[in-house]
Structure 1
């Protein structure tokens, strides 16, 4: 019998990575080559080959918690599959692994470090009950440390004689306090760097080395040789005099006895004027033109000296300030360390540092390496650092004993801002190879079709290479043609080549980005409405027109840009969802609530109160606010007075009266309510969800508000001032709380490149692309190997042009930082482009698009289409008016673009429609009507309090029980129950745990319920028929188009008997009278659903199936629907009518 539990088919390189277990290995896994599958299969292969290993002997280190959870789930599934096919001792062993699945060491590096430290806490002097500070909590501690450190320096004696303390005071005097606080709040990013140079002489030597290197390059250039080859240029000619000056400077530049600074000054002083000179003064026109062209080329070469300058006085001042910054940073870090110690808290850096220290101790290493731990696997190794590599080696047996397996792709290293070191993959791979290990290149893409893979390879060949003259060649990952991606699937005949658009190349930000966003929105809408792009459906593997849900628009950063794209999508009627958004705390709906919380904390905070009053929370107009401000005093006092005046005139419904009543009530309780309860009260009393629900993107806004309430629940013990501080620090520290991801099946996804890592999309639009680094020109302190500082605005002479001065040390540091960023920009481009399965669009906007020389050359080399820049599309909402609340939805003012479909119909929709048709009573009919309306209009139903619930303490619905039974049947637990009831119980218990029911008593009751259903089913005729079948397909997905509607879902089970007859099985958990007549009558409500299943199966395999409805509570009564009856039901099925009927449901039908 063929079943769906077989091991995935592996290609040659995947098999090599999975099955070579006696050697350490480094696997370079290109995008879409099946990295996770290899990790899971190697994990299982190690357990298979080593029967005496417990499951905890294999460690798998992942980059994120979600990746760890996904891998743990996939390992669990593979173990369940092994249990379902194994026998005897083998089955007992796999069942033992399953029983310990929650103890597996599949974890992030920080989770693993935490385990090691708690087990050896005394050895590193920490309390074993320490808490781990997440980024937000660490940021709060850092803010406290900053306040203490600044107080320390404010009270310090300036006459201590300590030059570093004096330098720190100089920083506090010369720099704006806001700038100082901004730098010091980020002190952790400067920890562990080398100290600044001790003396200016060191910097001068560096300047001379850098300058001489660049001068040598200039002197060796073709331009210099051409200039020097010009014989006797006429001194009386203006162009001739320029050439003579250039020849003198070039000869001086080659003279080792001339000081470097003089050479640089001489070359930078050269003048270039292509229009100077007259041909009659030269020997001939050819020589004249040659001289002008050579001078133009030399001008380009000399640009390399543009930022090279050394002024000893400036360097002295800059170095004093740099040491001052260094002192301040390290004092803040010292205070921060003390606060963590007092609070028994470790941050993520501490976890790595202390775990590394522990694993360097022979006694600790002996406990783990080769004893508790036999093998260590590290995923996403390109995003690790040297310390994490040391930890992995400390846990594992020796490299020569095959104890380590790393997998990743240096081309996808994009997390330098989190401490990732792109050079570590190469260094570790070479170390593994020296120890006799294996290097495997996985380059077969299972994601992208062959034509697109070919174009991407040519594109990467032109993009991924070191920049000329870079100071950081080790940071660049050069594309290797010998290991270029190949494609598993062929291209469709009508595939679309990569397309590049240069939009508004003469524009300036933000205008050019606005234009680009509009072009993208209009182009996507045009593609979808015209059905001009074909993609391959993942479920059916058949071509179909691209829908909105197939598109992902990727941005390098959301900062300052995402709002333009969101607005363009709204204007052009393109449904979208923003993922990993603008910064969660910067979203409008979140800022509204934060401002109101700030006003409740301090009603005299006019700015916060004005923002809250003007927001949808209270919706006061500009006129209302002007009225309040005209009264003088604080805004709260004015609100109180104006509300009393309006009340005297019996204007009790006036917005100001409403705002005053609600705000006063909230003020009265804000001091003693937990943050989450206060937020829920605000939302309820202001009717905030209804207000934002009418706005564009209202559903996303609601989801984000729900998330803020969840965050408040996590901080439930915090007083209101502490909760506000937590929110503000989270925002300042840029802790990226992602906007809640809605069901994006019918929407364009707008996300960052980092947010798309590990994902894939049928169509990718890489927007605002740039291969340049974008330095922060405001940053007062920057860092490469050490820190450097921008000069303060206020110069020593009292002038305000200090910040225009740049020391060589700052210039050098900035160049090294920018070179590393430029290398990562190439890798970001690689990651973004390889997310595409079927089609890729690239666009750039503004002047930056003209400077993308490397990309332009690569595009030409890859034969990428570069259509003419599209005209700025018509903006449907260009003439905006204020829309008052007249009862009309805002959508009435939207463009006349075709509205997106409500959504795809699901099999559940069809089943509920059938139940509505066949309901036995008005009560039941009302139930299904209400249920359908709830699903269609979920946003308008439950208040937030009931949207989240504790599944651990409640019995699930029959539908959830049915889902668990289905899962158990998928893993053949019904068969296992006959052979080994105890192991079957463990499998069911594992499935119930995985579903979120973790409290022992509730879990036991659910397990018993599921087991009782399975026992009854195992004895039924239908179970015996399935057991004897030739082929069985479980949880078979399908998509079918009919009457212009798409229906999707899963068939519970399909089997083929030995006479090649197909049967669809649909399991039900309904409660019905236990007699054949009642069950047959009840089953009629599912005939429409089964008719759709039969049509989908016929379309897919050409079979004419029978359908059977099996009630798991009464499995001996099976309702059989022959093909003829299914055909009759299908003939009356009108999906467009069902969809229209559903669309007519109101939230309160």
Structure 2
């Protein structure tokens, strides 16, 4: 996309506030990037005064890249020296731009004003796992202390919610909604019960007026119409007269009570118990058949009305009394959680926003932020919430100053379960509209969908989004305008599973047909579902059909066999008497013993299975080898960190090879990486042991079912399985929308549960005074349930819209119809009603108009075309479809695991370390990355490995940990003033591996080293620069591989400056060798950085030795040297792929694989 439509050009204007509604595939990120750069170039505002807020970190990263490219594009075209200088300055300042998520934006503000926020300046943002552990700890302490003190309120609460376990779940919900709890306590339950009851009455009347009263005239009219058709004679005639008299009592300004009385009068006269009009004695069969839609409307109205305004078990005052007591207890719990976080200097994500809202109420801070931030752009505004509104509106002085640009699409608001509030989008849009209606813009076009898909989408949603009620978060439709002129491309098809064949079978069959056709590859295809459950059966079918796939964020991470197997191994090492764990790993890919072999072992003598295994080892060399491996691992478990232990277990066995041979190898590998990441995070969160980790994994496998599988690279040639929520913002050539007839889950007020709502308060069902009686409902619960159900149905419709609009060319909608039954409020229910679908159809035909916006030589032309869409309805698969898929014929890229495993295929990741190792000695590279370090450790036990490549970390723990702490410390941008505090936090992050180290001495030693560095010339020079990144990762696509590097510090000024920190012990004698050792790594960083940032000037490489900063190395290099090294990288990769691993004998004397002056590769391994 290069040319701008008129709609996009209008959106670039920045003199006024703008609310932009952007249809699916309209190029809104493209507009955001253009607008950001336009403001930077055409105003005098510094880059860091332009704020761009995105929904996710990934979106922020993508926007940053697009802005960078836009700046580079301007630079390459600009000849005016003044403007060129300014663009260069913008590019240099971009590194400090506020392009981030709302949480990152708030974090920056809090770090700028920590004392005003009442927090530690070196606060730690905790992740979800750390937060969950802290919450569990606080809740346990809170319940135990209160029970020990005889607190009657908590005893009553436990009795009402049924158990301590259920009460804990309620408390978890309370802490997750701590901001709402505090607001309710201060502004809701501070009122008298009578005042709250009056407020509840207003909510009830609001529902009555917004929904029932507006529909009452239609109800009356339709009922009168049907009543006129009823015979005048007999009982039917009597009922006809009665109905007419009662309907005349209904008025357009009616009361709740009067409508209720009229409807009650109808119940036993003309309605069945299921709220349908009687056939016998009132309507006849002919009327019922011919006017079914009118009859359904009337029945639904009566059913809904009585559900809300019918008889109530208890008055709202009973609920209010409970809630006023409960809110006090909940507030105490929230306070305990806040105290615990404060003592640990922790903030969770909710804190970041709530504390920001609090401090910007201070005039001094607000004034500073008003001056600092002139332009604010917010993406995906339909999924924002009230608290974000309360942050940005004051900064913009309620739109009196500055410039606000919000972009979103009401039709794609699908995050209500994360407290997204569509009302905020509408409110902000109305406030901008009050400034000028010309500030409300739209991007109606779609560059994504083919004309056929755009027409299909419009056909559904112009009916599904018809007559929206804002009170229920319903949205209006805006038809897609296609920018594509390929009218015959793509199509839509229904796949109907009717019981004889399953949905997974239909889907797998269709995929094989598509791929066999030659125009579609596996990685063109995405399977979308509103829930994760259907993926399990689909995965089994794909494995059966040999279809490569990856599950993106699919449920059941902790239930994967890989996780079970690894944890079984850990449990066995902790306790060798654990027979189940041992049998599990023997049967797993760790050792692959057959059931027959395990049975034979079980016949041996021995009190435990491990003892039986040892006794059997004399009969089998294989078992003898297994016993040797197990014994060695038992004896050496404590020598490894849990992460390195897991790596070792995978590398020394055949397990890694097994997962890489599977059809879903990418997914398995990503899951393994995720487990390593979880392990590292878990071990950093306190005094944790291997036993604690194993127990955590064991608990998670039984209790945490919704943990998503690891993300995988989307470039792999495999079908993607993901939820619609995960697919938001993505697009695929072929989309399968599956499981479309499943029953949607509607949340409602229930017994032994609690709804926390900022508008309705605390809602639950309660027993009367006798706790053993049935739980009763309240009128306000019914009001909430009705409105909430309508909101959830509206969001389901929007979720369907998001799912359908992910497709570029082809859309397949699969559904399971048992006996032709369509589930109410399912996706297929929405589709079938709008398209008048029935299960007997072979083809569904649609016709109508579609607007196009076609690019003609740089100018966009509007035109309208006639569309005729034939949609096949496929109920049976084509027999005998086989692709004979050979996995090796497709790309399965392997990520770098940092565990010395490599791949020789395209799209591999080449790190600085790999290039450095190959430069030292090609044979050393082969030993490390191709033969596998774990195997070498096992077979050459006398080898002493250096720090850089060691998996065996014996005698190195303290040095390695010290290095990690220093790197973590420097990453946090400390100053001389806060050195102690930041260093303490860095040490605390590594506390789990320091149980035997004198922490006080370690702190003192590291502080001395860092103070020495802070006093050095190299620190003074490097810290004087302002445009920099710490711990910056770069993935650079070169040819058919990726170059990857993590730089400790990268500075973008007039020249590119690379900084690499080292904690080696050095002196005048070994300094030159150290520089030579690290030189290739620094040159690698210089090459990928200059390419990534499109920097064509000189660069500078810096090797900073923290312990001896006076010996640090700096060297300026020009582009010729950088490009020359790029050529060296290319040659090395070719050598690796050609398997040219000739030894470099000059490296032998310092090589870890040189034993007794001989390379181990020359020995028999």
TM-score calculated relative to the size of structure 1: 0.68
How big is each residue's C-alpha offset from its partner over 1:496-532, in whole Å with a ceiling of 9 and x where there is no partner? 332233433xx5xxx98xx11221111111122134x
The equivalent of 1:16 in structure 2 is 10
Residue 900 of structure 1: how far off its partner (Å): 6.2
The equivalent of 2:648 in structure 1 is 681
Residue 347 of structure 1: how far off its partner (Å): 1.1
The equivalent of 2:50 in structure 1 is 58
* Mapping for residues 448-463 of structure 1, pairs under 5 Å: 448-463=449-464
How big is each residue's C-alpha offset from its partner over 1:408-464, in whole Å with a ceiling of 9 and x where there is no partner? 222222222222211222221222232347222122322233333233223221222
CA contact (8 A) 1:207 1:310 kept: no
* Mapping for residues 749-898 of structure 1, pairs under 5 Å: 749-769=720-740, 773-775=744-746, 780-784=753-757, 785-786=759-760, 802=774, 807-846=778-817, 849=822, 851=824, 852-860=828-836, 863=847, 865-871=870-876, 897-898=884-885
The equivalent of 1:118 in structure 2 is 111
The equivalent of 2:983 in structure 1 is none
CA distance in 2, matches of 1:215, 1:26: 32
How big is each residue's C-alpha offset from its partner over 1:526-548, in whole Å with a ceiling of 9 and x where there is no partner? 122134xxxxxxxxxxxxx2222
Matched, 1:49 2:42: yes
How big is each residue's C-alpha offset from its partner over 1:784-821, in whole Å with a ceiling of 9 and x where there is no partner? 5446666589996858xx57x75544443333332222
CA distance in 2, matches of 1:144, 1:217: 51
CA distance in 2, matches of 1:898, 1:1012: 46
CA distance in 2, matches of 1:318, 1:602: 52
The equivalent of 2:483 in structure 1 is 488
Q: 1:641 to 1:1069 in 2, by over 3 A?
A: closer
How big is each residue's C-alpha offset from its partner over 1:1031-1082, in whole Å with a ceiling of 9 and x where there is no partner? xxxxxxxxxxxxxxxxxxxxxxxxxxxxxxxxxxx9776679xxxxxxxxx9
CA distance in 2, matches of 1:486, 1:277: 47
* Mapping for residues 540-555 of structure 1, pairs under 5 Å: 545-555=519-529
Query: Structure 1 stretches of 5 or more lacking a match?
Result: 1-6, 532-544, 877-894, 913-922, 975-983, 1018-1065, 1073-1081, 1087-1147
Q: 1:230 to 1:688 in 2, by over 3 A?
A: same
CA distance in 1, matches of 2:398, 2:389: 13
Matched, 1:100 2:100: no
Q: Secondary structure at the match of 2:491?
A: coil
Q: 1:256 to 1:31 in 2, by over 3 A?
A: closer
Q: 1:215 to 1:475 in 2, by over 3 A?
A: closer
Q: Secondary structure at the match of 1:868?
A: strand
Q: 1:826 to 1:610 in 2, by over 3 A?
A: farther
CA contact (8 A) 1:961 1:1010 kept: no
CA distance in 1, matches of 2:163, 2:580: 23
CA distance in 2, matches of 1:571, 1:938: 34
The equivalent of 2:390 in structure 1 is 390
* Mapping for residues 295-310 of structure 1, pairs under 5 Å: 299=299, 301-305=301-305, 307-308=307-308, 309-310=310-311
CA distance in 2, matches of 1:57, 1:1000: 39
Deviates more, 1:68-77 or 1:826-835: 68-77
CA distance in 1, matches of 2:50, 2:256: 64
Q: 1:963 to 1:291 in 2, by over 3 A?
A: closer
* Mapping for residues 124-139 of structure 1, pairs under 5 Å: 124-139=117-132
How big is each residue's C-alpha offset from its partner over 1:376-405, in whole Å with a ceiling of 9 and x where there is no partner? 222222221122123223444773445222
Residue 617 of structure 1: how far off its partner (Å): 4.4
CA distance in 1, matches of 2:367, 2:19: 24
Q: 1:37 to 1:299 in 2, by over 3 A?
A: closer
Q: 1:458 to 1:1016 in 2, by over 3 A?
A: same
Residue 825 of structure 1: how far off its partner (Å): 1.4
What number of residue pairs does the alignment pair up? Answer: 929
How big is each residue's C-alpha offset from its partner over 1:5-25, in whole Å with a ceiling of 9 and x where there is no partner? xx943222222222x232222
Residue 838 of structure 1: how far off its partner (Å): 1.7
Matched, 1:37 2:42: no
* Mapping for residues 361-400 of structure 1, pairs under 5 Å: 361-370=362-371, 372-396=372-396, 399-400=399-400
The equivalent of 1:526 in structure 2 is 513
The equivalent of 1:576 in structure 2 is 549
Q: 1:170 to 1:442 in 2, by over 3 A?
A: same
Residue 556 of structure 1: how far off its partner (Å): 1.3
The equivalent of 1:1011 in structure 2 is 1119
CA distance in 1, matches of 2:746, 2:680: 38
CA contact (8 A) 1:380 1:408 kept: yes
TM-align CA RMSD? 5.5
CA contact (8 A) 1:692 1:702 kept: yes
CA distance in 2, matches of 1:377, 1:277: 60
Residue 364 of structure 1: how far off its partner (Å): 0.8
CA distance in 2, matches of 1:900, 1:187: 49
Q: 1:548 to 1:120 in 2, by over 3 A?
A: same
The equivalent of 1:348 in structure 2 is 349
Q: 1:260 to 1:148 in 2, by over 3 A?
A: farther
Query: Structure 2 stretches of 5 or more lacking a match?
Result: 837-844, 848-868, 894-902, 908-917, 939-948, 952-1042, 1049-1059, 1063-1076, 1138-1163
Q: 1:611 to 1:188 in 2, by over 3 A?
A: farther
The equivalent of 1:642 in structure 2 is 612
CA contact (8 A) 1:552 1:748 kept: yes
Matched, 1:427 2:427: yes
Q: 1:188 to 1:400 in 2, by over 3 A?
A: same
How big is each residue's C-alpha offset from its partner over 1:295-325, in whole Å with a ceiling of 9 and x where there is no partner? 7875454333563443434978777766676
CA distance in 2, matches of 1:941, 1:867: 59
CA distance in 2, matches of 1:650, 1:16: 82
CA distance in 2, matches of 1:31, 1:595: 47
